[in-house]
Each structure stands twice: as C-alpha cells, then as structure tokens.
Structure 1
Amino acid sequence: MLTTDSVISRGLRPHLRIGMGAGEDRRKVIDSAEAAQRTGHGAVTIYDDPVEMARDLRDGRIDAAVRGDLDSNDAMSAVREAFGVPKVLRAAFMKPEGGRLFLLAPVGVDEGWTVPEKVELARLCAATVRRLGVEPVIGMMSGGRSSDKGRMAEVDRTIDDALQALSILAEDGLRAKDVQILIEDAVKDCDVIIAPDGISGNLIFRTLHFLGGGVAMGAPVLNIDRVYIDTSRAKASYVDSVALAAALADERDRAIRPPRV
C-alpha cells in the first residue's frame, strides 16, 4: 500500500541532484530546499528559469525536477519544448484527511476524455506506482452508478467508456476495477483512480486539497522519460514534493556529470 511515509523514506537519496523552480515566493522555495537537504532528500539546485531547468533535466545535469512556484504555463511549456511532447500528462499523489495515498488522473482539464486517453493514463500511472514498490489496484470511475444507465446520454457514455477501458486494461494484466461514481469507496483500496474526464479530475483534486485539507504531494509528468513533479503554489512547503521526486528518480538513468556550482 502506498503511504506518504513510504514515499518519503524511499526518497532518502542525499546524492541525487534535484532542481526546484523559484518564482514569486522565493523564500518558501529556499526554505524548502534547505529543509529537503537537511532531511537527506537530495542536493537541491534552485532555478529561476523554467527553460533552463527543463533542459538540464533532459540532458541529465539534474536527476529530477520540482516545479516549485514557477508559473504553471511557463513551466509546462518548457517541459513540452524540452521533451518534444505536444501535451503534458500529469497525475497527482493525493491523501485525503484520515485516508490513504493514491494517484489521481487526469488532473489537466483537457485530458482523459477518450477511451485511449484513459487507458494511456492508467498504464502510465501504474508504471509510476510500481517505481515506488507497489503493484497497483486501479479504480476506473464513470459519471454514475451502473443503475443510472439510461438516465442521460452523457452519463451513459462515461459508463460505456469506463467498461471499455477496463476490458483493455484486463488484457494488459493490470488489476483494474469498475468503481463507478463511488470515489468514497475507491479511495479505500485503490492506488490509482482514473476520473471520468479532466474536468472532474481537476475538481476532485481541488476539492480534496483546497477545501478538504488533503495532502497533495505533487503531480509527476507521466509522458516523459525523466522525473518532473508539478506542484501547487498553494503548498506551504515543497519538501514532500522533493522527496517524491527523489523516490521516483531512476538512478540507473543518471548521466555521469560534474555537479552544478
């Protein structure tokens, strides 16, 4: 089972080089960098330029990157340019108050609207969770209960799409189940939750984090071959995001380069 403690423990890699972006609240970023280094979660380099950080990540000058409080549009644009992807796919590690940690996708409003996108997100999320030592259970959501079929065409579409995606994932050998609209049950035993679409996923994220007091450790970019953690500027500290970046960083992929000075 995923836990914040297991992720933080797995991220105890003081030798890893972690980049973190600084925007308007530079003091928070500096404090987070110093605290992360004290706790052994990597040697943190602070970047003012999102393009430089994305390129250094691509070229192996750093082992992982954390957005920090860089502007979101600038940071994601830099990632798209550096890694040559037309769209950035993200999933957010969430922990509801009193609940368990899970990976939520999609969280971008334009993501997860088709069956192929749902399947791709589920596969990428499963691979991410496996890097943390857990064989995931995937919960596929839809816009209603099965008994709601026939009430509205749009609800019917989400139910049909979820079942089709589950059939494909079963062929992949992934442990995935139909959780319908019952997120309150899904969070009890699912390590990955796929929302019906990007708008509902974004609303789940915002409700849990901003209204419900849930922990948002960070949102890994799923469709690049390096570790980049997107973060909310509303976070009081980025230490847990640095720990997540270090936990996901694959030391086998490290380029042998001198440290930045």
Structure 2
Amino acid sequence: MIIGIGASEEIEKVLVAAEKVSSDTISVIVFLPEGVQTRSDTPLRYHHSQHPERALIDALLRGEIDGGVRGTLPAHSTLRYLREATGVHQIERVALLETIEGRRFLLTPVGVDEGMTINAKVRLIRGAERLADQIGIDRSVGILSGGRLGDIGRSPDVDRTLAEAELLARITGGIHAEILIEEAVHTFGIVIAPDGISGNLIFRTLVLLGSGTGHGAPVVNIGVSFVDTSRASDNYGNAIHLAAAIASQK
C-alpha cells in the first residue's frame, strides 16, 4: 500500500509522523515544494514539485499511489484542485473523531460551507454510511438540532433546525437526537451536525479542548481515498492509516 502525504508547512512534523507509520505494509511518499532538503536515512520517499498539491492529486488519480493525505498543504488550493480534477461540484467530507474515552464516531458536515441544504445533508449522510462500512464503524445515524422538541416556539432558528432534523430523519432513516450530542456520540456511529459551522465547532471543541483525537476527514464523493487534515490536529499518522484502510476497500 502506497500513501502520499503533502507537506508545505511544519514539514518536520509531517516527516516524523510519516516515518513512524512506514512499514512493510504502508509505504509513504511525501510531496514537498521544490528546494526542501530531505534526509536519505529514512524509509520515506520524496516527490519535489513546484505545486505539490497538484502532484499529490495527479499521482492519486493516475493510480501511482493508493491513497492521499493533505497533510500541511494549503487547504484552499488543494481542495479546489481536487474538486476540479475529480469533476465534482463540491467536496464532501466526513470526519473520523475519537473521544478521550476511546469512542470513535463519524461527524459531518465539518466545513463551514458544507451541508447547507437538505439535499446536501442527505448526500453527506449516504457518504458517511459508505465510509462507516469501509472502516468498521456503526452506520446508525443521529441527527442533531439546535434544541429539544419541547423548545419549539422559543426561537425561529431553533424551530428551523428541529424541523430540518425531523425531515432528515424521515428521509434517511436516521434518528433525531435533538441537541443531546453527549448522548448521540455514545449511541450512534454517525453524528450529523445542524450545519457546517456547528460541525466545525464540535470538532474543534473535542480535539482542542476536550483532549479528543481527530483522525482526518475522508472525502466521500470522489471514488478514491483522500483524507483531508486540519491544522488543529497533529495526528498525521492516524490520517495515513485511515487513507490506507479506505484504499484497501476500494
């Protein structure tokens, strides 16, 4: 299994993580900007390029690597090129998270501009279910809203999220978990945030304040194994393992 990972900032941190997970079963190629000095006393391979994000994605789509991890490549240019190269309208991501107690679950939407319509959320749920099957996560779906059903009438915004969650539950077969995220993450393998902003806040709160772990956010609508990573998380080794696990199921 060959996994590519990008590194344009904090390069040493990426190299250390990639070297730790290199093994007989996972070979890692690091995609770097031109001119970056590398060591020869390592199992890693290197690909230097003027545009490492393009080189990583091109290698993935040509089948030269089995999976890709964004690493510390710029988010905007990398995801934009991934979208253009794969021909999708929008990148759809689902994050694999883990609580401090070791409970793993999938969370989506996690991008501030993702899951903005009912149809978009339905696509994310279906993508999350496919991902759950690939990596052995319970595919049950809990849909969060901005309050409890007893809160109807207190706020138009809360009412809207309650109505959307009820509709999504009927369409997808999921369960409306109301605002009870503390119960949802222990009950469901897939947790659906009311929108991308709250999903991003959930991720940051868990990983940066709650001592949880982010394993990366696979893109679920492109047909190849690509794991997005956040600058808020240092677990690039986890993302490499996740990309390899998904690639093995393709």
TM-score, normalising length: structure 1: 0.85
Is 1:168 the counterpart of 2:164 in the alignment? no
Which residue, 47, 56, 79 being the options, matches 2:31?
Answer: 47
Q: What secondary structure is seen at the aligned counterpart in 2 of 1:98?
A: coil
Which residue, 221, 231, 234 being the options, matches 2:229?
Answer: 231
Conservation of the 8 A alpha-carbon contact between 2:5 and 2:71: yes
| CA distance, structure 1, for counterparts of residue 18 and residue 233 of structure 2 | 14
Alignment of 1:1-261 (within 5 A): 16-38=1-23, 40=24, 42-48=26-32, 49-170=52-173, 176-250=174-248, 253=250
In structure 2, list runs of 5 or more residues that go unmatched.
33-51
**What is the aligned-residue RMSD (CA, Å)?**
1.4
Identity %: 42
| CA distance, structure 2, for counterparts of residue 149 and residue 41 of structure 1 | 53
1:233 Cα deviation (Å)? 2.5
Cα deviation 1:22-48 (Å, max 9, x = unaligned): 11211112212211113x551111112
CA gap of 1:183–1:246, structure 2 versus 1, over 3 A, is same
Letter of the structure 2 residue corresponding to residue 101 of structure 1: R
Conservation of the 8 A alpha-carbon contact between 1:136 and 1:191: yes
- Higher-RCO chain (CA-CA 8 Å, sequence separation at least 6): 1
Conservation of the 8 A alpha-carbon contact between 1:94 and 1:104: yes
| CA distance, structure 2, for counterparts of residue 148 and residue 41 of structure 1 | 52
| CA distance, structure 1, for counterparts of residue 168 and residue 25 of structure 2 | 37
1:110 Cα deviation (Å)? 1.1
TM-score, normalising length: structure 2: 0.88
How many residue pairs are counted as aligned between the two chains? 231
| CA distance, structure 2, for counterparts of residue 191 and residue 96 of structure 1 | 12
| CA distance, structure 1, for counterparts of residue 77 and residue 25 of structure 2 | 26
Conservation of the 8 A alpha-carbon contact between 1:102 and 1:191: yes
1:250 Cα deviation (Å)? 3.7
| CA distance, structure 2, for counterparts of residue 42 and residue 247 of structure 1 | 10
In structure 1, list runs of 5 or more residues that go unmatched.
1-15, 171-175, 254-261
